[in-house]
Structure 1
Amino acid sequence: MSYDAEVRRARRDRGQVAIEYLGFIPILILVAMAGVQIGLIAYTAQQAGTAARAGARAASLEPGAAQEGCQNAVSDWLSVACDAAEGGDEVTVTATVEIPSIVPGWDFGDARKTATMPLDH
């Protein structure tokens, strides 16, 4: 094989590798997005637990303060709803945080956590 033929073949091979790489990029992006979404789900669940404990602590000190305690405990970009239920000498708060999605149209539901504290008032 002549030198010119080898050079042309090497140039063609480089183009083929570039095309194969471009075809693999969507798969890499999909895997990265899945990893970020799993991290968001775990973070939201952690924030829901923190909100439930903070809401229960606030409600144990002052009736009706559960929502404010929950809201102050989570990141500003997350929405949280807290339901408090007093029973006997304790209060139970359930925090519900909507799981954000980085893929439009996908809904992962809510993260719910519950905490119970003794009443101090």
Structure 2
Amino acid sequence: MRRLSRLLKRLRDDRGVSMLEFAGFLPILLVIGMAAIQLGLVGYGINQAGSGARAAARVASQDGDGSAAGAASVSGWLDPDVPPPARGADTTTATVIVHVPSVIPLFGGGWDVQRSATMPNDNDD
């Protein structure tokens, strides 16, 4: 009887089950964490592209080098592309494209984010 009792106790022993559950859930937690980081990077890229476009449009509207100003105002690791701003009669429009790298390998090489800004021209005439 005593032997049967020990055998039944050993079969009901759940030591290590929580570790096994955690090990099974860990990949899901890692993917969720990496997705949150990726969303943060995309948001940062959008913010940087908008700031670069505003800087490029502001400088170009005052007859300066808008491309250089836009590229200088964006983090270099985002690989900014700032074409020359389009200057019209009353406004100047600048566009900045940045490349946001991918943190999760399954999503390829990343995304290009584009933002534009328009500023009134400085008419000192």
Secondary structure of residue in 2 paired with 1:102? coil
Residue number in structure 2 paired with 1:91: 92
Residue number in structure 2 paired with 1:110: 112
Residue number in structure 2 paired with 1:14: 15
TM-aligned CA deviation for residue 51 of structure 1: 0.5
Task: Spell out, residue by residue over 1:26-59, the C-alpha distance to the aligned partner (whole angstroms, 9 max, x if none).
Answer: 0000011111111111111111110100011111
RMSD between aligned alpha carbons?
2.1
The higher radius of gyration belongs to 2
Residue number in structure 2 paired with 1:75: 75
- Given the two structures, how large is their TM-score scaled by the length of structure 1? 0.83
Question: For residues 41 and 11 of structure 2, what CA distance do their matches in structure 1 show?
Answer: 47
- Given the two structures, how large is their TM-score scaled by the length of structure 2? 0.81
TM-aligned CA deviation for residue 93 of structure 1: 0.2
Does the Cα contact within 8 Å between 2:55 and 2:70 map onto a contact in 1?
A: yes
Secondary structure of residue in 2 paired with 1:74? coil
Q: Unpaired segments of 5 or more residues in structure 2?
A: none
Return the letter of the residue paired with 2:16: G
TM-aligned CA deviation for residue 4 of structure 1: 7.6
Return the letter of the residue paired with 1:29: L
Secondary structure of residue in 1 paired with 2:82? strand
Q: Unpaired segments of 5 or more residues in structure 1?
A: none
Secondary structure of residue in 1 paired with 2:81? strand
Aligned length: 118
Secondary structure of residue in 2 paired with 1:13? coil
Question: For residues 114 and 33 of structure 2, what CA distance do their matches in structure 1 show?
Answer: 26
